[in-house]
Amino acid sequence: MAAVTRVRTRQGGRRSPNEVRNILKGLLFISPWLLGFFVFTIYPIVASFYYSFTRYDIISEPHWIGLANYQNLLFDDATFRIVLFNTLYWVILAVPIGVAVAFLLAALLNNEFRFRPLFRTIFFLPSIVPTVAAAMVWLWIYNPRFGLINSILASLGYQAIPWLSSPEMVKPSFMIIHAWAQGGAMVIFLAALQDVPRSLYDAAVVDGANRWQRFRHVTIPMCTPAILFVLLTGLIGAFQNFNLPWIMTQGGPLQASEFYGVYLYRVAFRFFKMGYASALAWLLFVVIILSTVALFKSSARWVYYAGEER
């Protein structure tokens, strides 16, 4: 039997030369990643925190102003109030709608029927379409004169709908796109539905439960861990909503789609107020953390984990 070399520490808690050598070798191997992590992740985080207390425009040196950026955001910036309303409106409505659509699609596609793999593929495809390509397609669909939807409405004698040019319709228009692109969440829910024990459905049938009761009292509770995960990721993504509003409306009309990410980008790269933009970013970080903690706290009341004592 081959001898096994053991690394032992010296008395007093000091590491042996072999252990120190192995640690140094390991650090050497991961040094490219460590360098990138500190340069491209840790440094920007620390720098943005410092800049949030300064007046900084990239060209000149940052000037320390303390909490003035945060005070201006919370009490003096009228645009920020509009942005906050738009973002909360989006988070409160778009996230649950997206989760509900994805879950219902998964429940339908979990049944046995002809061409089921084809339909699963069709509903998943929108989630992998590049954002710019999707935006171009939906700009054509929503076109007030030549768009697909308004052309169909005109042929039926109905008035065209100003999807992206109306302050009242622009956010619902983005919610339709958001619901359309729920293929990734649908796959997660499909995996969760596959794990629901068949014995629970059989027991519910014996107890006289109909289809809706089985769905409500068996399917949904057993999928609540997946629902929590999709809600959490959707919540974080919704607070950072940027791509589609910027490409399709650039925050218009009348700032009706000026979401937090759009406003942050505009402040940073249009007005070059990097200190103010850093304060916006850190305030968003705090809001996301608080929302995530609140969601986790509430999950104890409605998320069921199999085998866990309640």
Question: Which two three-digit tokens encode residue 51?
Answer: 């800049």
d(CA 71, CA 275): 13
Alpha-carbon torsion (129, 133, 138, 140), positive or negative = negative
pLDDT tens digits, one per residue of 20-78:
899 999 999 999 999 999 999 999 999 999 999 999 998 899 999 999 999 999 999 99
Pairing of strands 63-64, 54-55: antiparallel
Give first-to-last CA distance, the chain, whole Å.
51
Q: How confident is the model at residue 2 (pLDDT cuts 50, 70, 90)?
A: very low
Measured CA to CA, the distance from residue 55 to residue 285 in angstroms comes to 20
As a whole number of angstroms, the distance between CA 192 and CA 140 comes to 36
Residue 111 half-sphere exposure toward CB, CA atoms < 13 A? 8
**CA-to-CA distance for 135 and 68, rounded, in angstroms?**
37
Instruction: Decide: residue 57, CB within 10 A, 0-12 exposed, 13-18 middle, 19+ buried.
Output: middle
Q: Does the pLDDT value for residue 7 go beyond 60?
A: no
**Residue 309 pLDDT exceeds 90:** no
For the chain, give the mean pLDDT. 91
Grouping H, G, I as helix, E, B as strand and the rest as coil, residue 303 is: coil
pLDDT for res 43? 95
Residues facing 64 on adjacent strands: 54
Helix (H, G, I), strand (E, B) or coil at 52: coil
| 274-303 pLDDT tens trace | 999 999 999 999 999 999 999 999 998 999
* Token output for 214: 């089985």
pTM of the model: 0.88
Query: With bands split at pLDDT 50, 70 and 90, how would you rate the model's confidence at 181?
Result: very high
CA distance 224 to 232: 12
Residue with tokens 């120190």: 20
pLDDT digits (tens, 9 = 90+) for 254-282: 999 999 999 999 999 999 999 999 999 99
What 3-state class would DSSP assign to 165?
coil
Lowest-confidence segment of 12-21, 116-125, 144-153, 194-203 by average pLDDT = 12-21
For residue 308, pLDDT over 70 is answered with no
- Domains of the chain plus CATH, in order, are 69-302 (1.10.3720.10)
Nearest of 229, 201, 195, 225 to residue 213 by alpha carbon? 201
* pLDDT in the model for residue 15: 81
User: In residues, how long is the chain?
Assistant: 310
Q: Which of 123, 231, 250 is nearest to 187 (CA)?
A: 123
Q: Does 8 score more than 70 pLDDT?
A: no
Q: Tell me which DSSP letter residue 253 carries.
A: S
